[in-house]
Amino acid sequence: MRIPLLFAVLVLAGCSGGDAAPDTPTGEPASWAEGAGAVVHLFEWKWTDVARECVEVLGPAGYSAVQVSPPSENHIIGGRPWWERYQPVSYQLETRSGSRSEFADMVSRCKSAGVDVYVDAVINHMTDADLEHPDVPFSGRGTAGTEFTSYNYPGLYDFDDFHHCGLTETDDIWDSSDQAQVELCELLDLADLDTSSPKVRRVIAAYLNDLASLGAAGLRVDAALHIGAEDMKAILEEADWDGYVYQEVSQPQAASRFLGSGAVTDFQFGYTLSEGIRSGSLSEMIEGEFWAEAGIPSSSAFVFVDNHDTQRHGQNILTYKDALYPLAVAMMLATPYGRPRVMSSYAFDDTSVGPPSNSIDEVLAVHGDTGLGCGEAWVCEHRWPLIAGMVGFEAAVRGEEIRRLQKAGPDRVAFTRGDRGWIGFNRSGEPWEVVHQTGLPGVSYCDVAQGSPTDAGCAGGRVRVDAGMVSTVVPPGGVVAIHVDAQAAR
């Protein structure tokens, strides 16, 4: 049996593998696929912490939504790795992040702060199929106390509710370019639900309806590629889901099949952006529209530099551990493609380790008198001044095209987004003195690259625009960014 470490995205090898089955575009994406505004993934946070973060940080900074870890009961696994959250046992809302009542309170408090809650929905599979692992002891118990056995989840599913594909010796996916294996066989030995079954569809739809009844406004559908496009659409129709949907589709060539059900994740975006920020020409990246590589329509693309999978096992992906990472996130938020998600991590060296916890496996809080705060164990990239300030920039310039491109060698580039924002990037080790036409009104602006403005004023320095022209210095390895919604108080 293969080690079930990463079942959300390890099939990324399929991105460059053999030819997949031909795709048939499904036409324009459904209206509820269209979202707006930056999303933040508070990976493995407790519901009580998410609620407070929405009120104190996310809402004021302009984040439109927060993606939370899977809220459904999950398998308790020895050592409590993060990936146990992706092995559902039931659809009870009881996990290390909190209880059902705490989840409902979080959704309500976030909504009051103008922040939607998006759920990471694991509906392709249940737990490891044979409950065996060569290195980690597996239990037959879930976080809500549910006892289960292989292919048997009392009151929910039994053996006949799962695919038993018979296409490989182990029933696991061996060839990620074979669409039949991808959709019918087991992803890393996880019991694969028969999502063509009316019963299975009804049970999953009931779970989604329960989330909606508590106010959840969006879904990240984990392993959607392995559900199959027709089944995915049927499940959402069964649930009559009208919230935002973004589907984890790790193979760009398969994305078009899923557009009728919502947005799709563009993994290629993060790889291309990371490579370009590390060693490419910044101006050539913008001129060449690096974001278009996967061929996904902008209105249906969900983009990120890194996510919880790729930051552990991606190839050459920039993460919080890299000095150039803030520059990459700023570039994502500055460009006019897709809906951006900001990653908020906890620190790790072991790629399987779970969130900061105590000796009895309780997740340690971020907030409160006993909370760890942000900066070490909880990294909180979403609070970094450049990233938080750029969330406001993205909101202010949304819908505007890149104009007035100014190139100054491979390490320096500046451009406007219509007449609503101007930004300059400097990857070099020397200051860049830049004079540039912005199209913005002639006033003083807060440099949002130094943080989000507050009622008290600019978080950092100010930049003056005269007769549409900006004259400023972009610091080494830094960014200067201004926009019409961040005018400095006179």
Residue 248 is a catalytic residue: yes
Q: How many CA atoms lie within 13 A of 19 on its CB side?
A: 3
DSSP H helices in 100-243: 100-112, 179-184, 198-213, 224-227, 229-239
For tokens 């996130």, the residue is 329
DSSP of 235-259:
HHHHHT--SEEEE----GGGGGGGT
Best CA proximity match to 86, nearest among 130, 144, 138, 127: 127
Annotated active-site residue in 44, 178, 248, 266: 248
Which of 49, 120, 128, 222 is an active site residue? 222
Confirm whether 306 is a catalytic residue: no
CB-based contact 248:149 (threshold 8 Å): no
Distance CA 364, CA 376 (A): 13
Helices (H) and strands (E) in the chain, counts: 12, 20
DSSP string, 276-330: HHHHS-HHHHHHTTGGGTT---GGGEEE-S--TTHHHH-SS---TTSTTHHHHHH
Tokens of 249: 């589709």
Catalytic amino acids? 222, 248
